[in-house]
Amino acid sequence: MISISSGNQTTIAHHVSLSGIGVHSGAEVTVRLHPGDIDSGVIFRRVFADGRREDIRAVSSKVVATDLCTVIGSASGATIGTIEHVMAAIAALDVDNIIIEVDGAEMPIMDGSARAFVEAIDEAGIVQLEARRRFIRVRKPVRVEMGGSWGEFLPHGTTRYEVTIDFDSAAIGRQVWAGDVTAGVFRSELARSRTFGFMRDVEKLWAAGFALGASLENAVVVSDDDSVINAEGLRYSDEFVRHKTLDAVGDLALAGAPIIGCFRSYRGGHKLNAIALKALLDDLSAYDIVEAPSAGAQRFRRADLVAVSPSFAPWAH
């Protein structure tokens, strides 16, 4: 069985909102989640102070920056950053169509994890729509390398991640997380893992005008003497690699449809994730587009998936 709970497309049942601060701007941000229509996908709606609104589709072709977080933008120059945590929650909970209205240039960091976004989706509820889900099924290996890092997609019968990090830090070191990412696994093993950084890097970012909203309330911080300085300590002994996996789930959700395959990475990050995803989508022989066998299917096997027209390319719009 593949790790998809239903053959129907989904959206949220009701509007829901949450607020927090942007990790880089330090400014208060309000987010409102709205139900989306069939085949509309994930849309970020940037709301400006003058009341103007601009929609940006959450797809690979809209990525404009990956240095400190994942940022998408429109042709007019409107951008929304730090989208990876909410995208991870949306993808892992199998939400296909949703509008994310944001009154700032970045998503709120909340506690540095995806937990608040999972709770918001749970509060809104998920409903099925009268249309089949579509998937991107990996058909052959695709690999990219970047310095000492690499990422690759492999054919696999589920949505699987195998993420390895390797830091020259006794507090982190080499860690591996591997498993199928289902809604249940995401909730229990990944959603609560927080973003992290080193105090020496945070101080440099502050001096450059970035990470103005970063604090021990929304990030795990490793001190110069190589210890975690957060009073609560770690939520998992390997919280660092779990968060890197969470980020990968969010970044790869920009494929525009769920991926059936295995993503493996070594010493990856937002930039590597984006490059790997682009390499997959650019190679039309590396994947096919499939959909659930019927709109009423409750569970189905990989073999039940039906190939559809290759002209369906949500990431290209």
Neighbours of 189 (CB within 10 A): 18
Do 264 and 138 contact (CB within 8 A), yes or no? Answer: no
53-108 pLDDT, tens digit each: 999 999 999 999 999 899 999 999 999 999 999 999 999 999 999 999 999 999 99
pLDDT of 279 strictly over 80: yes
pLDDT of 303 strictly over 70: no
Q: Rounded to whole angstroms, how far apart are CA atoms 5 and 125?
A: 15
Question: With bands split at pLDDT 50, 70 and 90, how would you rate the model's confidence at 3?
Answer: very low
> Collapsing DSSP states into helix, strand and coil, what is residue 297?
coil
Give me the pLDDT at residue 47, please. Answer: 96
Do 181 and 260 contact (CB within 8 A), yes or no? Answer: no
Q: Rounded to whole angstroms, how far apart are CA atoms 292 and 1?
A: 12
The annotation status of 85 as a binding-site residue, yes or no, is: yes
Global model pTM greater than 0.75: yes
Do 16 and 29 contact (CB within 8 A), yes or no? Answer: no
Give me the pLDDT at residue 296, please. Answer: 46
How much is the average pLDDT of 26-50?
A: 96
Neighbours of 209 (CB within 10 A): 9
Do 131 and 8 contact (CB within 8 A), yes or no? Answer: yes
SS3 content of the chain, % helix, strand, coil (to 5): 25, 35, 40
Question: In this predicted model, which residue has the larger pLDDT, 204 or 116?
Answer: 116
How much is the average pLDDT of 275-290?
A: 97
172-226 pLDDT, tens digit each: 999 999 999 999 999 999 999 999 999 888 778 878 887 788 899 999 999 989 9
Catalytic residue ranges? 270
Q: Rounded to whole angstroms, how far apart are CA atoms 307 and 317?
A: 21
Question: With bands split at pLDDT 50, 70 and 90, how would you rate the model's confidence at 37?
Answer: very high
pLDDT of 112 strictly over 70: yes
